[in-house]
Amino acid sequence: MVLTDIRVVDSVTQLAADAAPSVVVAASHGGAYAGYLAARAGVRGVILNDAGVGKEAAGVATLPAFDEHGTPAATVHHDSARIGDGADTVRSGQLSRVNDAAAALGCAVGDSTLDAAERMRDADPAPSPEPRSPGRFELDDGDPAVWGMDSLSLIRPEDDGRIAITASHGARLAGERESYIAGDVAGAVFNDAGGGKEGAGRSRLPFLDERGIPAATVAHDSARIGDARSTWTDGVVSAVNDAAAARGGSVGMDCRAFVAALQETID
């Protein structure tokens, strides 16, 4: 969806690196990786979801990072709009946090998404960020192997048969109709983003049941969203789908114990 020079997307991963400068309303979490993708697209300003703020305020880490370059950034409260749903973010999102650059333009906590986006329209485009590592790494060489991805968008064809520890939120994007996760992974873990409006932060799990993929979310205050290593070492399971429960997964397990349960039962 494009509203003049305000662009609305379900995920910041849908932005092209060379997109025309615009204010972007993206229903992604406001963590560091999402901010990197927004900066790479040269946004004039960005509004994201606070994902419950979470451990070490990871869900709003983009805000101070954008202040370093004077780029306005804000988050909507996770209970006010469904994470993963750009249209709902515009329709009902209310700001929960703003950075100094956004405040200088008149944005304030409690503002509607569209009012804040309109105030950001005259800002200068964000400078291109320094390249960062791909955010993919092996976490466990067991059978099946376990790989971490700081974003669900980093899953590749070679991850078929692996257990994917992603630091993305566990929401089904509003525009998704089929895959819900790329490839045929043996299992998946996400961050619950605080649950949020209508439990959106966990809404991908039942859709993965349709493909027989065991999946879980970890609590947003147990692991840093956007950080797969934190998910692996610190995450505590907050929800599981039926496929995961059938393999011994349960709420309250730490992430490593959940993965071990899957490894013991996956042929």
**Model pLDDT for residues 195-235, shown as the tens digit of each residue:** 999 999 999 999 999 999 999 999 999 999 999 999 999 99
Site of tokens 């994902």: 51
Average pLDDT, integer, range 99-104: 98
Residue 8 has pLDDT above 80, yes or no: yes
Site of tokens 């566990």: 170
Domain borders along the chain are 2-119, 136-265
Q: How confident is the model at residue 132 (pLDDT cuts 50, 70, 90)?
A: confident
Q: What is the pTM of this model?
A: 0.94
pLDDT tens digits, 234-261: 999 999 999 999 999 999 999 999 999 9
What one-character DSSP code corresponds to residue 44? S
pLDDT tens digits, 15-39: 987 667 799 999 999 999 999 999 9
Name the strands in the sheet holding 237-240, side by side, starting at the edge strand that comes first in the sequence. Answer: 136-140, 146-149, 163-169, 187-191, 215-218, 237-240
Average pLDDT, the chain: 94
Q: What pLDDT is stored for residue 18 in this prediction? A: 64
